[in-house]
Amino acid sequence: MSQGQQRKYFGTDGIRGLVGQTPITAEFVLKLGWAAGRVLAREGRGDRRGKVLIGKDTRISGYMLESALQAGLSSAGVDIRLLGPMPTPAIAYLTRTLHAQAGIVISASHNPYQDNGIKFFSAQGAKLPDDIELAIEAEMDTPMHTVDSALLGKAERVVDAAGRYIEFCKSTIPGNAELRGMKLVVDCAHGATYHVAPSVFEELGAEVIKLGVQPNGLNINEGCGSTHPQTLQVAVLEHGADLGIALDGDGDRLIMVDDKGEVLDGDELLYIIAKSRHESGTLKGDVVGTVMTNLGLEHALRAMQVELRRAPVGDRYVMDMLRQGGWSLGGESSGHIICLDCTSTGDGIVSALQVLAAMLKAGKSLHDVKRGMNKYPQTLVNVRMEKKFDFAASPHVKNTLREVEAELADTGRVLLRASGTEPLVRVMVEGVDAQQVDALANKLADAIKVAYSQQ
């Protein structure tokens, strides 16, 4: 993006907001569909007319937004293929394999049902380049008009979308990696994976106990899935399962639970996959995390002579760094893991399969295969503020930060950053001593509160 150009509607992960409030209204999304159709399929005419896929998660608002997008795209002369409820990574995959000009996802990922969003994939199944997003925004500011009736786009439903994606997921691990004899609990968060994730693991031979597979439009991510793994922990222990798999509402995040009921976050899962690939000689270069990635992962990788590269928070930035470095593996603590040697975006089901393949190859349980990485205690404190405040320029905050860093020395690290989505500053302190880490994080948070109150 050139200097001075800013997105008006697109954030780091598409367009997102509260349903019924701009931009997540039927009127806005109708115009967005038209504008996207104009930009993405400008050359599509006659036999070469554009084709765009639309998929969604299980939120009740998906019906309204899908219809609005469909009408907008059709009015721009673009043909539509409707996928229905499908995981975000499935839409990226199908956009590539069905040779569409773009894929559109209607989802707010791990957010509650009251939110929704629109996210675009390019023909390659990657997030749209900045210049395309800017072109769509520019088109939004022009008057909407409909193509001649003979040129209106047609809509068809892709009836075998789920089956295509299930087969793809299974193909990402070796053909001899059977899960026969394993008992898995799979929590689909009442989201987009409810009708595909259990089938993937069952068809590979596992016994699957299903959670979060009864979406009603309002219960997506509610007390379940990757953001609420407590239900999964209980179920794994109750059923004597080998492990549990928790996905989020749109299926791009993964959290796992071992047979002891212990939760494994994205950092630990990234370690397991990286170690397995390193041992087999298939790890391509360095591993990418974020500024929030646990120091324990950095040290565990370094012991294997693999470097952890840190990107800003957000899978978009992890992806950018992977592509720039020519590397293949990265992810976030939240469970958004990217295996570019398998697919073009973060995929919870594919990531779970990579962990299972690593377990089978090592002949170890999930609890044992995670050994080798020791997570450092980490405390995160959010300091809320009603108006913008340049905390980094405050002498009081600067002095307190110096004191905290001096006390930690080389046994930990500190991160202060303004949230990109909420009016708050995030204070993160990490070190070897949990009590010290907690005290120092609160000391810094208090310094920011004092400086904010005195401005």
CA distance 183 to 118: 36
Q: Residues with Cβ < 8 Å from 15, sequence gap 6 or more? A: 9, 23, 24, 32, 117, 118, 119
Torsion, CA 116, CA 5, CA 126, CA 192, rounded to 10: 0
CATH node for 378-454: 3.30.310.50
Q: Which helix (H) or strand (E) holds 281?
A: none
Residue 48: the pLDDT is 56
Distance set, CA 120 to CA 63, 108, 254, 416 (Å): 18, 13, 21, 31
> What single-letter DSSP state applies at residue 158?
-
Distance set, CA 425 to CA 241, 386, 397, 417, 447 (Å): 40, 11, 12, 6, 12
Torsion, CA 412, CA 413, CA 419, CA 424, rounded to 10: 70
Residue 46: the pLDDT is 44
User: What is the block-wise mean pLDDT of the chain (455 residues), using blocks of 10 residues?
Assistant: 63 91 97 94 56 97 98 96 98 96 96 96 90 93 96 96 98 93 98 98 98 98 97 98 98 98 98 98 97 95 97 92 97 97 96 98 98 95 88 94 94 88 87 96 96 88
Q: Which helix (H) or strand (E) holds 416?
A: strand 413-418
- Judge if 15-160 and 173-369 fold alike in CATH terms: yes
Q: Which residues are catalytic?
A: 109
Distance set, CA 392 to CA 396, 398, 404, 405, 443 (Å): 10, 7, 15, 15, 15
Residue 423: the pLDDT is 78
CATH architecture entry for 15-160: 3-Layer(aba) Sandwich (3.40)
Q: Determine the topology of domain 173-369 in CATH.
A: Alpha-D-Glucose-1,6-Bisphosphate; Chain A, domain 3 (3.40.120)
Domain residue ranges in the chain? 15-160, 173-369, 378-454
